[in-house]
Structures are given as C-alpha cells and as structure tokens.
Amino acid sequence: MTTNEVGVLVVVLVEPQMGENIGAAARAMLNFGITELRLVKPHQPWPNKRAKALGSGADQVLDGAQVFDSTAAAVADLTRLYATTARHREMLKPVATPRQAAIEARRFVAAGERVGLMFGGERVGLERDDVVLAHTIVTIPTNPRFYSLNLAQAVLLLAYEYAMAGEAEPARERFDTGRTRPANRGELIGLFEHLETELDEAGFFDNIKEKRAAILHNIRNSLQRGALLEQDVRTLRGVIKAIAGKRIPGSRRAKAAAKP
C-alpha cells in the first residue's frame, strides 16, 4: 500500500425494502460525516422520492448512492468489511461490539484502507452468503428478547460510534508490504471462486453434495482469518492453477482431456 492512498468508510445496505429507511439511514450517516452509500438490490425503484423526504437534506449522500446487483459487486473494492447482524449463523468469525468495530475501522481507514459497514434488509437482515464475505460480525447489545432494530437506527448507532472513535485514534501500524497491499473483496472472491471451481472439477463434492454449501462457507471464512495481501491472493491462485494442471486420474477434467 502506498502512503498517499486515502482511506474511506462506506455504508452498504443489502436489499433495503423501504425508501423511507434509506433516507433516514442517509440522514444518520451525514449527521456523523459519512457520505458514501451503496445499495444492493433495493426493493423500491431508485432514485426514490420517499428517501429524499426522510433524508431531510442528506442529498449529498442520496444523490451519490451507488446501486449494485449483488453484494459481492458492492464490496469488491473494500479491504475490510463488517457485517452488522444479531445472528452469527454458526460462523467462526470475530464478533465485535459497535464500539470495538468503530475503533478498529478508524484505524484501518487512517491507514488508507477502504472499509465497509454492511447492514441487511428490514425483514430478514443479512443472509449467510452476505455475512461470509465479511471479516468481522458486529452485534449491537440489545435486549435478547427484543433485538430487532430499525435499519436507520442500526446505521445511526454505528455512525455515532465511528464518530466517537475520533480523529485522535492513531493510524494502525503498517508492516512493509513492498509493492503489494491488502487484498480487496473482489480479489478474495475471485480466489474463492477459482478454488471452488477446481474442487467441483475434481469431483470433491460428488459424494457429499448436501454438505457443499457449508464446506464452501467454512473455506471462505478460514481464508479470511488472516489479512491476505494482494500478492498472497495471486500466489494462492498460482498454486491452485498448478495443482489443477496435474489433475488426478478419474477427475472430470482428466476424463474430458482423455477423450479422443
């Protein structure tokens, strides 16, 4: 990572249902100086008049909001991602409070990284396939018997904690990465998909098809526990390619290659 890269905090709303809640979330963001908003498949047409009305002047956030067809596309350029959810979905990931996540996010942004705070839709929250893309789960310590928060309330809490973390937080100490940098979500997703394709081609899941999704989620989680650099991702993809080139006899690709 070069020293002149500028970090940024991004709010990602996955499948928000109501324009009003998007507007209220944008208002909460701007209250605390966060301006970059991304929407994944909003249920109502965008731009949205109700969002503007509830935004109460947060036009800077709403007019600049980007819309994506998938969560993976929305987070592809981010090097750190926090998933806000009350349900861990049996994933082995670090779990942080909003305050802990905000302090950490501040340090990553100060070090020049692009960091995302991800929130799910009003009805079901984040799906497992969304959460698996994150480094860390953020859980707001609410009443366990009544833990559901309005989308804008959740955004407000995280935005407030991020502001309170303060500009005085020291930048995260960097190690010398030479000409490389932290891998972003898009590069990691490319690595995941490359590995998963080769596992399928090798017939790895042929006798355990019912466990395929769970195993792939576990692989994705385990590869994200370390802070992979872009060079690490390229190296691992080279390893996968080399192994795939020596496909074991009996695999699908070996059989296809053997056909006259």
Question: Would residue 200 count as lying in a domain?
Answer: yes
Pair 130, 225 in one domain: no
CA trace torsion 58, 60, 63, 67 (10° rounding): -90
First to last CA, the chain: 49
Per the structure, how many domains does the chain have?
2
Residues 47 and 131 in one domain: yes
**How many angstroms separate the CA atoms of 115 and 9, rounded?**
5
Cβ atoms 58, 27 nearer than 8 A: yes
pLDDT, tens digit, 9 for 90 and up, residues 77-99: 999 999 999 876 567 789 999 99
Over the stretch 150-176, which tens digit does the pLDDT of each residue have?
999 999 999 999 999 975 454 444 444
CATH code, domain with 117 = 3.40.1280.10
Is 1 inside a domain boundary?
Answer: no
Q: How far apart are CA 92 and CA 218, in angstroms?
A: 8
Which of 83, 195, 182 lies closest to 135, judged by CA?
Answer: 83
Domain co-membership, 153 together with 241: no
Query: Same structural domain for residues 199 and 142?
Result: no
Do the beta carbons of residue 174 and residue 111 sit within 8 Å?
Answer: yes
Could you tell me if 31 and 113 lie in one domain?
A: yes
- Is residue 177 a part of any domain in this protein? no
The per-residue pLDDT of the chain, averaged, comes to: 86
Range of the domain at 218: 185-258
160 inside domain:
yes
134 with 245, same domain?
no
Name the pTM for this structure.
0.75
DSSP 247: P
CA distance 117 to 131: 11
In a domain, 3, yes or no: no
Q: Report phi then psi at 234, rounded to 5.
A: -65, -40
